[in-house]
Each structure stands twice: as structure tokens, then as C-alpha cells.
């Protein structure tokens, strides 16, 4: 049944407000050599400084590229920039390519996985030491998993239009985004079914996990109905400190209080490691999380921060600015890791989550059904007859998915009307129904079918695809002006990194102490 909620009708009377929606992407991808082995080379100079280049950086490993777009008011310009950056990178990787799969390539021994380096400034060292801490806590291999982060914001007028309670625009905006996050939590299992694309991993990636998985062939492990092993309990949720950390999205104050507690409460296993080894920093502290970003979640409320500013402090002082969706797998069929249809579906889905009623969660802010549904779908979402729990009642995945598609479609139509996009949003949403009717059409099933058809394990299959994508990207050169723009950004980033290094006047120990002190209690 389609939604008849008054808010949807109100939005239909004010469609121009949707023109203020902004979306951005952060797309990760490992650099590998032409045999698919993790690159051991430093971050290429042609790509600029990983610390200060706004478009091209690294995440955990020196080899884990992260390509960042600006925010855009259309899917076309968003993916246009992402493709442009991919083309620039593809043309400047000598004997290397981007691994276009969320599950990592065959990795070297842990000791040989290089941690990202950001230079000698205090800012750069903080990022590096934080990653050393991740290695101590979760292992280096876990940090080489890659994904696509989708950032989304609506204009201030939307929250005013919805007449959300609050003493200030900041409070109303934060309430609106947290309600959106609660609905996302309820329904995000659908994203994993429709777009999950990591049903398999290379053997040896997760030591000791073999008993949970089946052998696809001599080189690959998988689960026959999985959609996204990347998002399963084989990943961060297997870590006890992470699994016991339950933040609350009922209100910003409780969310920040729990985040502050996690960032300031010692964890015995991390205390046993300590912060120093042989006179060097190995983690920023011994708390449940070193910094806010260590909390591994499918979605985050976000606010841009200044140098040295804590994310939680920025949220407390200025409220939520946008949301970051973190559960999308890399689309292995796309040279840039995400298709236009996926981006358009995300916009319609996230708008639906923002507008539809979103009651607070009981149970101390933790929604057990939503957590369990998500966990079930990532490991066995394509299982025939799969039953999920909707408001405590059993429902089949296809039935609930079909209901959600019907409810999301009116929002897609509104986006088509407001953005003058023909029927592209509507078609992107309606196209997903076929996957609910036939699970063989999902990306996870298509990946396994392609591997079977060619008699290849995950590594060889992904290497073949990644090589093809590199050649497709290289086939269309950037214009001289575009090349000049990227080169200038790279040069300016090195100059900015040097400026930061030259301007530091305090020792790193003092800088870390000041950084920790900047996290204010609620």
C-alpha cells in the first residue's frame, strides 16, 4: 500500500524544496598490482597529499584509496565528478589498478600491510596513530575492507515545512535527521538485499572464520544466500567492545552522552595493550573507542569539523548537518563502484526515511528487530522463504520489500517532478521490484553466477573485472583543463601539508592531550 501520510501531501504541494537536496560520495578502493596483490608502494605523488587533497586521500592502509566528491544537487553531476576522479587516478597508477570489490584482494602477512602515512604534522600523526590503534584492536586485514559512503542532506526549509518541535532551527534539524536515521535503521535491510555485492571472500582473509563459511572453490569462501559478508558479524561486530556499544538515535543528547562514554571509558583488553611500545605511540588511548569515528555503524549523523575539532563537540555545538550512509558495498559491475540507479534509489529511500513517521525506539533506544533483520539479510537474504520481523510480527522478505517499494515510489515521483528528471527516479525505484521477485537478479547472486560461469574464484574474477574497468576509464582521457585542475589541487595539497608541518609549535604528546580534552561531556 502507498503512504497517505499528510507529510507526503504537504511535500507534494512544495516540491521545489527538494531542489535543495545535496548528495556526496566517499568511495574506497584498494590499490593492487596487476596480479591483484596489495600494492606496497607509497601513495603516488601524482595524487597529491593524502592529508590535504580534498578529492583523493587514503583510509586505513597506504594502499586504500578514498575518492571524495563535493556535494551535488543532481545524480548526474555527482557521478560525473566521481568518474572524472577515477579517470585521473587510473591514468596515474603505474602498473597498478583499483580493486573494485568490497572484499579485499589477497593480502600479504599482517606485518606487511602498510598503515597510511600523512606526514609529520601533529594532524597527520594523529591520523596515523589512530590507524595504528585500529591495527592493534581489530587487525590490519579488517581495515582493508572497502565500501561506498553516501552523504545526504536536505535543505533547512524541509524541516520547517514538517513543523518539527524544537526551540531553534538547529534543534529541529537535528531532530529531523535523527528521525530519518531511526527509519533508516528500520529499513536498511532492504539496501543490503538490493545492493549487497560481497557474498564471498578469498580464503585466508579471516583466520578462524572458515567454520562459518562454505568453500566455493579452492580459493574462495562464501555463504550461498549471503548478500554482504562485509556487513556481517564476520566484520567489526565480532569485536566485543564494538558489539556491546549501542548508541541511541532517539535524541541527540543521549546519542552524544553515550558517544562520550565510549570515548572516555577504558576497555580492559586495550589497557593491556597500552598506548606506547618501544617509546612509540601505538594507540591514542585505551578506551572503548579512541575517537568517535571508530564506532562502526551503518549510518552516522555528521557535521563538518575544523582542524583538531572533535566530531561530537561539533554536533553538540551546531547540530546535525547531514547523514552518512556507510553500508553500501562497492558495485563490482560499475567502474566507479556505484550506478546512477543506485544513487537515485538512495535519494528516494533517504527522502522516504526523512518524511515518514518515525517513532522513538523503546528498549533503551535499541531496536532489536531492526538489528536482527539486518544481520539476517546480510548472511542469508536470498534464502527462499526468508522471514523477517516487522513490528514483532513475521513477514516474508519479498512481501515487505514490495510494500516498501510501493511506499518509496511516491517520493521518487516527487523527485522526478522537482528535479525535472523525466521519470528516472521512478524507474530506478520500480526496477528494484524485479530483484524481490527473483533473487537471482541481485548483485550478490549475479557475482556468484558470473564466477561459476567462468570457473573462477573471487580473486581471479575481481581482478579480471578491475582490469577491464581500468582500461575503460583510461580509454577516455580528461581534457587539458581537467588534468590541469587535478594537478593544481595535488600541488596545492603538498603546499598545505608543508604549511601545517611548519606551523606546528607543540610536541605531539601535548597535541594528543589537547585533542582528548576537546571532547566535552554532555
Q: What are phi and psi of 324, to 5 degrees?
A: -120, 115
d(CA 57, CA 66): 5
Q: What are phi and psi of 504, to 5 degrees?
A: -65, 130
Q: Which residues contact 210 (CB under 8 A, 6 or more apart)?
A: 203, 221
Per-residue pLDDT of the chain (522 residues; tens, 9 = 90+): 344 578 888 898 999 999 999 999 999 999 999 999 999 999 999 999 999 999 999 999 999 999 999 999 999 999 999 999 999 999 999 999 999 999 998 899 999 999 999 999 999 999 999 999 999 999 999 899 999 999 999 999 999 999 898 889 999 999 999 999 999 999 999 999 999 999 999 987 876 556 689 999 999 999 999 999 999 977 554 566 776 777 889 999 999 999 999 999 999 999 999 999 999 999 999 999 999 999 989 999 999 998 778 999 999 999 999 999 999 999 999 999 999 999 999 999 999 999 999 999 987 666 777 889 999 999 999 999 999 999 999 999 999 999 999 999 999 999 999 999 999 999 999 999 999 999 999 999 999 999 999 999 999 999 999 999 999 999 998 999 999 999 999 999 999 999 999 999 999 999 999 999 999 876
CA–CA distances in Å: residue 307 to residues 105, 123, 310, 391: 34, 8, 9, 43
Q: Which residues contact 30 (CB under 8 A, 6 or more apart)?
A: 38, 39, 61, 63, 64, 65, 98, 99, 104, 105, 144, 146
Contact 214, 194 (CB under 8 A): no
d(CA 122, CA 128): 10
Q: Which residues contact 109 (CB under 8 A, 6 or more apart)?
A: none
> Which letter does DSSP use for residue 164 in this model?
-
Of 63, 41, 68, 62, nearest to 124 (Cα)? 62
Of 70, 57, 69, nearest to 29 (Cα)? 57
**Which pLDDT score, from 0 to 100, does residue 306 have?**
84
**Which pLDDT score, from 0 to 100, does residue 167 have?**
85
d(CA 324, CA 316): 17
For Cα atoms 396, 402, 407, give the angle at the middle one, nearest 5 degrees. Answer: 125
**What is the reported pTM?**
0.96
User: Is 72 strand, coil or helix?
Assistant: strand
**Which pLDDT score, from 0 to 100, does residue 389 have?**
96
Classify 6-517 by CATH class: alpha beta
Cell numbers describing residue 338? 556505484
DSSP letters of 329-356? PP-TTSTTS--HHHHHHHHHHHHHHHHS
**Which pLDDT score, from 0 to 100, does residue 369 have?**
76
d(CA 106, CA 201): 9
- Could you state, in order of their start, the residue ranges of all structural domains in the chain? 6-517
385 torsion bin: left (phi>0), alpha (psi -120 to 50), beta (else): left
Task: Report CA torsion sign: 339, 344, 348, 350.
Answer: positive
**Which pLDDT score, from 0 to 100, does residue 157 have?**
94
d(CA 521, CA 258): 10
d(CA 498, CA 512): 20
Amino acid at each position: 500500500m502507498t503512504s497517505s501520510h499528510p507529510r507526503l501531501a504537504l511535500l507534494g504541494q512544495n516540491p521545489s524544496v527538494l531542489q535543495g537536496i545535496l548528495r556526496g560520495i566517499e568511495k574506497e578502493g584498494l590499490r593492487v598490482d596487476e596480479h591483484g596483490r596489495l600494492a606496497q608502494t607509497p601513495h603516488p605523488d601524482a595524487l597529491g597529499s593524502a592529508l590535504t587533497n580534498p578529492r583523493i586521500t587514503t583510509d586505513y592502509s597506504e594502499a586504500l584509496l578514498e575518492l571524495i566528491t563535493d556535494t551535488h544537487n543532481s545524480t548526474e553531476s555527482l557521478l560525473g565528478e566521481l568518474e572524472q576522479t577515477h579517470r585521473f587516478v587510473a591514468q596515474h597508477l603505474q602498473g597498478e589498478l583499483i580493486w573494485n570489490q568490497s572484499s579485499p584482494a589477497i593480502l600479504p602477512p599482517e606485518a606487511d600491510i602498510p598503515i597510511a602515512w600523512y606526514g609529520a604534522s601533529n594532524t597527520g600523526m594523529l591520523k596515523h596513530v589512530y590507524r595504528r590503534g585500529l591495527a592493534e584492536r581489530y587487525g590490519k586485514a579488517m581495515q582493508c575492507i572497502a565500501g561506498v559512503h553516501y552523504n545526504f542532506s536536505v535543505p533547512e526549509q524541509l524541516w520547517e515545512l514538517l513543523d518539527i518541535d524544537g526551540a531553534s532551527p538547529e534543534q529541529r534539524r537535528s531532530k529531523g535527521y535523527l528521525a530519518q536515521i531511526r527509519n533508516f535503521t528500520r529499513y536498511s535491510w532492504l539496501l543490503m538485499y538490493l545492493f549487497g555485492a560481497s557474498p564471498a571472500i578469498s580464503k585466508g582473509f579471516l583466520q578462524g572464520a572458515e567454520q562459518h563459511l562454505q568453500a566455493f572453490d579452492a580459493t574462495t569462501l562464501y555463504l550461498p544466500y549471503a548478500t554482504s559478508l562485509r556487513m556481517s558479524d564476520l566484520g567489526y561486530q565480532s569485536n566485543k567492545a564494538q558489539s556491546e556499544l549501542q548508541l541511541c538515535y532517539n535524541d541527540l543528547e543521549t546519542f552524544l552522552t553515550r558517544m562520550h562514554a565510549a570515548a572516555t571509558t577504558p576497555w580492559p583488553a586495550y589497557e593491556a595493550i597500552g598506548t606506547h611500545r618501544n617509546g612509540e605511540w601505538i594507540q591514542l588511548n585505551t578506551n572503548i573507542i579512541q575517537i568517535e569515528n571508530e564506532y562502526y555503524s551503518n549510518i552516522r549523523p555528521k557535521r563538518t569539523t575544523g582542524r583538531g575539532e572533535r566530531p561530537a563537540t561539533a554536533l553538540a555545538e551546531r547540530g546535525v548537518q547531514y547523514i552518512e550512509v556507510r553500508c553500501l558495498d562497492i558495485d563490482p559491475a560499475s567502474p566507479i563502484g556505484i550506478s546512477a540507479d543506485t544513487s537515485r534509489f538512495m535519494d528516494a529511500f533517504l527522502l522516504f526515511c526523512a518524511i515518514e513517521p518515525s517513532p522513538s525506539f523503546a528498549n533503551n533506544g535499541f531496536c532489536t528487530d531492526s538489528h536482527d533483520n539486518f544481520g539476517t539479510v546480510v548472511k542469508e537474504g536470498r534464502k527462499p522463504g526468508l522471514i523477517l520481523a516487522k513490528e514483532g510480527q513475521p513477514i516474508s522478505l519479498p512481501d515487505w520489500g514490495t510494500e516498501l517499494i510501493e511506499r518509496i515510489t511516491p517520493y521518487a515521483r516527487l523527485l522526478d517532478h522537482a528535479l525535472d528528471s523525466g521519470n528516472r527516479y521512478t524507474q530506478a525505484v520500480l526496477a528494484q521490484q524485479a530483484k524481490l521477485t527473483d533473487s537471482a537478479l541481485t548483485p550478490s547472486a549475479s557475482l556468484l553466477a558470473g564466477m561459476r560461469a567462468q570457473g573462477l574464484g573471487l580473486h581471479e574474477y575481481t581482478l579480471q573485472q578491475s582490469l577491464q574497468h581500468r582500461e575503460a576509464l583510461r580509454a577516455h582521457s580528461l581534457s587539458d583543463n581537467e588534468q590541469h585542475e587535478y594537478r593544481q589541487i595535488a600541488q596545492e595539497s603538498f603546499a598545505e601539508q608543508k604549511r601545517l608541518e611548519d606551523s606546528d609549535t607543540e610536541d605531539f604528546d601535548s597535541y594528543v592531550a589537547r585533542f582528548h580534552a576537546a571532547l566535552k561531556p554532555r
